[in-house]
């Protein structure tokens, strides 16, 4: 086993470059780090290109089987010093991976009666976007759509916040909201009962008063500006979360969780109306 010890090694420099969005976009690759998320990626069949490990940092009994599960020509052994130069953590676990970026288009999303699609529009905080992806996984959503301009899903902070959920469901990217509007207009012909619902502090209807026992697209917007006007106007209904205390709003990721779990509650506890 050859262990890379030089910080100036060509492959090490390449891995370090993946910290920057422009290189992730150009190379269509990103790095994940940590035992749990690497395990999730391998278990879910994510397109792992290279597994990076530092033998001197591997202390968990779960680590060695993960390393051995990857073919030798896709493993890269590095020294502790090299791994720390790549790590975003204060206490790295010595395990990381390079994953190929594969993004489905909207046509690949399942659009049956149980459709629950969460659209995150123009978010700027990586922790928020990552948490929304994790929530979408937790509630069994059909997928997530990210509308640009947006923080990068493959930003290390965003990847950490997903806790591996980015491998669990389809996540599409759109550079233009008009493509989303055209898609759901076409989808409505297949699913006449489709509900397109947007969260807004200025919504006219309490979230709990909407019937979600039908195919649903749920939109949440930018942390400060909310949704663009064209998207708000194209929605069927704008809903608000009632604020009982002195707070006037919720963080967008917390609001998304509250909205999504009300949809889960309705679909679990109430019979579906087929009319």
> Last residue of a domain, which of 51, 78, 100?
100
What confidence tens digit (pLDDT) does each residue in 189-203 have?
888 888 999 887 777
Same domain, 158 and 265: yes
Q: How far apart are CA 114 and CA 215, in angstroms?
A: 6
Domain membership of residue 274 (yes or no) is no
Q: Residue 275: which pLDDT band, with cuts at 50, 70 and 90? A: very low
Same domain assignment for residues 92 and 183: no
Count the neighbouring beta carbons within 10 Å of the beta carbon of residue 178: 12
Looking at residue 55, what DSSP letter applies? G
CA pair distance 205, 208, nearest whole angstrom: 8
pLDDT of the residue at 85: 94
Are 241 and 214 within one domain? yes
120 plus 215 within the same structural domain: yes
- Per-residue pLDDT at 13 exceeds 70: yes
85 and 139 in a single domain? The answer is: no
Structure confidence by residue, pLDDT tens digits, 94-149: 999 999 999 888 877 777 788 899 999 999 999 999 999 999 999 999 999 999 89
3-state helix, strand, coil in the chain (%, to 5): 40, 20, 40
Residue 253: helix, strand or coil by DSSP? helix
Is residue 275 domain-resident? no
Q: Note down the domain range covering 62.
A: 3-100
Pair 7, 128 in one domain:
no
Q: Which of 48, 81, 100 is the last residue of a domain?
A: 100
CATH number at residue 34: 3.30.1330.30
Boundary residue ending a domain (81, 100, 119)? 100
What are the Cα distances from residue 230, in Å, to 163, 173, 197, 247, 251?
A: 33, 18, 14, 28, 23
Looking at the chain, the whole-number percentage of residues with pLDDT higher than 70 is: 96
pLDDT tens, position by position, 165-216: 999 999 999 988 888 888 888 888 888 888 999 887 777 788 888 888 999 9
Which pTM value belongs to this model? 0.90
Q: What CATH number is associated with residue 137? A: 3.40.1280.10
77: number of Cβ within 10 Å: 17
Considering the domain architecture, whether residues 122 and 86 belong to the same structural domain is answered as no
Count structural domains, the chain.
Answer: 2
Same domain, 125 and 240: yes
Euclidean distance between CA atoms 211 and 219, whole angstroms: 16
């Amino acid at each position: 086993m050859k262990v890379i010890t030089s910080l100036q090694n060509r492959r090490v420099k390449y891995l370090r470059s993946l910290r920057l969005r422009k290189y992730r976009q150009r190379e269509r690759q990103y790095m994940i780090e940590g035992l749990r998320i690497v395990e999730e990626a391998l278990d879910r069949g994510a397109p792992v290109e290279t597994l990076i490990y530092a033998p001197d940092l591997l202390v968990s009994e779960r680590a060695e089987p993960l390393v051995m599960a990857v073919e030798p020509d896709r493993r890269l052994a590095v020294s502790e010093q090299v791994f720390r130069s790549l790590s975003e953590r204060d206490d790295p676990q010595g395990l990381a991976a390079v994953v190929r970026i594969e993004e489905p288009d909207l046509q690949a999303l399942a659009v049956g009666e149980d459709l629950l699609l969460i659209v995150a529009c123009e978010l700027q905080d990586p922790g928020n976007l990552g948490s929304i992806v994790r929530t979408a996984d937790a509630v069994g959503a059909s997928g997530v759509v990210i509308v640009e301009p947006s923080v990068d899903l493959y930003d290390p902070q965003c990847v950490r916040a997903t806790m591996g959920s980015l491998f669990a469901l389809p996540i599409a990217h759109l550079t233009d909201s008009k493509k989303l509007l055209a898609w759901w207009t076409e989808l409505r012909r297949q699913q006449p009962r489709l509900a397109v619902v947007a969260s807004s502090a200025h919504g006219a209807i309490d979230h709990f008063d909407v019937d979600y026992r039908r195919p649903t697209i749920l939109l949440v917007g930018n942390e400060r500006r909310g949704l663009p006007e064209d998207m708000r106007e194209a929605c069927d209904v704008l809903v608000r979360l009632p604020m009982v205390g002195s707070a006037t709003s919720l963080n967008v990721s917390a609001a998304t969780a509250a909205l999504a779990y009300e949809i889960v509650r309705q679909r679990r506890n109430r019979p579906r109306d087929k009319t």
